[in-house]
Amino acid sequence: MDPVLCVRDLSVALTLPGRERTILDGIGFDVAPREIVGVVGASGAGKTVLSRAVVNWITAPLAIRSGTVSFRGQDLLALPPRAMRLLRRDIAYVGADPMGALDPTLPVGRQIVEKLRAVMPEVSRKEAQARVIALLDAVRIPSAPARFHDYPSQFSGGMMQRALIVDAMVSNPALLVADNVTQPLDVTVAAQVIRLMRELTERFETAILFVSSSLPVAREAASRTLVIDAGRLIEEQPTEALIAAPRHAYTRDLVAQIPVIWGERPRLPAVPKAPGARPPQAIISLRDVSQTYRVKRRGSFAGTSALRAVRNVTFDIAQGDSFAVVGESGCGKSTLMRLLSRLERPSGGSVLCEGRDIAGLSGAELLGFRRKLQLVLQDPFNSLPPRTGIGAMLEAPLRTHGWRDPRKIRERVRAVMDDVGLPVALYDDLPLGLSAGQRQRINVARAMVLEPQILLMDETLSALDQTEQFKLLALFEKLQRTHGLTYIYISHDLAMVRKACNRIAVMYLGEVVELADNERLFFDPGHPYTRALLSAMPALEARRYRPEDCLMEGEPPSPIDLPQGCAFRSRCPQAFDACATHPPFLTVRGAHDFAACHRVPGAGAALLAGAA
């Protein structure tokens, strides 16, 4: 079978005044119909430049220096703009930023219809709308006819990514370039997207170039994988062969850096405790914390509905813990982060820091809490002001908290830069040109400069490739050992959580449905939702839980219209009659472990007897 795509000797350069830097150097490969070919490599390897070159979207200051990109025998790089526009119906591209890809002022469905009619003007508006709704349903967008009229802000991240796949596939293209499409998604949605791509290759005979920063994710999707390093193609093998017997030293390092989930016990942080001493006191405590928002009711002029984002959450975090909160998009993790950092006050319950309710803090007391608990955000690019020097960024928190001596400020900033592995020579530089990993070290330094007790990590590693994650996890371990820090990770990356966290809370639809130590949660989870998350987690080793037994379909119920009984029952493979009428509560599974499921021993013998 002739390949759909042939890339030969492709070279791309970054052209700047007086100098030029090679980004891609002599890349060549083929993609056959119905084939999914993976492309993996570290940040800066040239993956995104390659994906854009394949669809002829290279613009200044980048420039093609050599090579051809042949699609069905036509060299795309030699086509005039008009001819290239005509091919857009056969070539599609999906990027890694679902929330910024569509116009926020227009409904999602309308935008996809306009795209379809732009490349296929012979299709009527009515026919285009019917096709888009059918595809939205095919990618498992719930209530597709109603969602067609929703705006991008009303879609979750996972739903937006699936909508963009519809946008790409609506004209039945022969080639789809998917550039890191699963990186911003939680594991269950990412698994559904990959499964959908496999279905699309069979249904439409589409060839897919699947670009990813994660080798385990590429393994889930691709039958053959290319490895790129510093702009050069260094290895190409069938994916399973590449993992089992990598030929290049870089690929071997890539495989070695991937966390082992079940095959070994990770070296987890131990909560400091002297012999014979009492258990450490909680530094953060949540007691029946809830957060409810009023949102406009669809179809009404001024009516509102209650959106219950967080519901009755209770747990303690001890000094020295590495505590994780995990769950799907929309489960309430980000809302909980805002409550923990006092960016919002809860509508019910209390958040305590060393016994003090932080909702009542103000003025100097609130400023003192801000110094004690610092936040490290997800996006290493948009979280840094591009026109401010690195040293000035790190000085700003000190000045806000009353430091006035320029010499002491500079000494403190230089010390913290050294602590997080930033060259002091960058003090007066702008962040322009720094890698994502270096930028995230700046964010960590900005938090550490105030010598906090607690670091709240909101998806801090999710935007980084696995090599940078590996390096930053080693940094976090060193900082915790040196400074006695307490970490709170808000994350959907279960492989990172397995390696870094000693205690884990699993959230679903605003509630904590399981709370357990690391080993218990990964080897003996008490809630079917936890097993579903573990079954969807990309890994190079054999899974302990099979996706076909555990993985749920579709979206969670709406937090505006919560179902009676167990909120998970509509997606649970083990639900029985009592789940529809009786909500489960956290039940003790051991000294420190809890799960909210009727099937947990002791959760309700009468209910289980009725199920039998």
Residues 307-362 pLDDT 10s: 899 999 999 999 999 999 999 877 888 899 999 999 999 999 999 999 999 999 99
CB 56 within 8 A of CB 85: no
User: Residue 610 pLDDT more than 60?
Assistant: no
> In this structure, what token pair is assigned to residue 69?
């990109």
pLDDT band at 365 (very low <50, low <70, confident <90, very high): very high
In the predicted model, is pLDDT for residue 136 greater than 60? yes
Q: What is the pLDDT of residues 231-249, one digit of tens each?
A: 999 999 999 999 999 999 9
Q: Model confidence over 390-444: pLDDT tens digits?
A: 999 999 999 999 999 999 999 999 999 999 999 999 999 988 777 778 888 999 9
Band (270; pLDDT cuts 50, 70, 90): low
Question: DSSP letter at 100?
Answer: G
pLDDT of residue 603: 64
CA distance 21 to 60: 13
Q: Indicate the pLDDT class of residue 609, thresholds 50, 70 and 90.
A: very low
CB 12 within 8 A of CB 24: yes
Structure tokens at 558: 């709406």
Write the pLDDT tens digit of every residue in 173-222: 899 999 888 876 777 777 877 887 888 788 878 899 999 988 999 998 99
- Which of residues 475 and 260 earns the better pLDDT score? 475
* Structure confidence at residue 229 as a pLDDT band (50, 70, 90): very high
Average pLDDT over residues 36-40: 95
Average pLDDT, stretch 100-124? 88
Give me 377's structure tokens.
């955000």
The residue that leads in pLDDT, 50 or 99, is 50
The pTM of this model reads: 0.84
- Per-residue pLDDT of 1-12, as tens digits, reads 789 999 999 999
Other CB atoms within 10 Å distance of the CB of residue 363 = 7
Q: Which is more confident, 473 or 172?
A: 473
Asked if residues 138 and 197 have their Cβ atoms less than 8 Å apart, the reply is no
Q: Give the chain's radius of gyration (CA, Å).
A: 25
pLDDT of 23 = 92
Cβ(288)–Cβ(519) below 8 Å: no
130 pLDDT above the threshold of 90: yes
Amino acid 554: pLDDT: 59
Which residues does 275 contact at the CB level (< 8 Å), separation at least 6? none
Two structure tokens written together for 261: 């989930």
pLDDT of residue 219: 92
Average pLDDT for the chain: 87
Residue 604 pLDDT: 56
19 or 454: which leads in pLDDT: 454
At 297-308, the pLDDT tens digits run 767 777 888 889
DSSP per-residue codes, 183-229 = TTS-HHHHHHHHHHHHHHHHHH--EEEEEES-HHHHHHH-SEEEEEE
Could you give the count of Cα atoms lying within 13 Å of 132 in the half-sphere of its Cβ? 27
| Lowest-pLDDT range of 52-56, 94-98, 402-406, 497-501 | 94-98
How far apart, in whole angstroms, are the C-alpha atoms of residue 339 and residue 419? 29
Q: Where is pLDDT greater, at 513 or 158?
A: 513
Place 279 in a pLDDT band, splitting at 50, 70 and 90. Answer: low
- The residue among 272 and 286 whose pLDDT is bigger is 286
Q: What is the residue whose two structure tokens read 């509102």?
A: 304
Is pLDDT at 40 greater than 90 in this prediction? yes
Q: Which one-letter DSSP state was computed for residue 524?
A: S
Q: Which of 46-55, 93-102, 104-113, 232-241 is the least confident region? A: 93-102
For residue range 50-78, what is the model confidence (pLDDT) as tens digits?
999 999 988 888 899 999 999 998 999 99
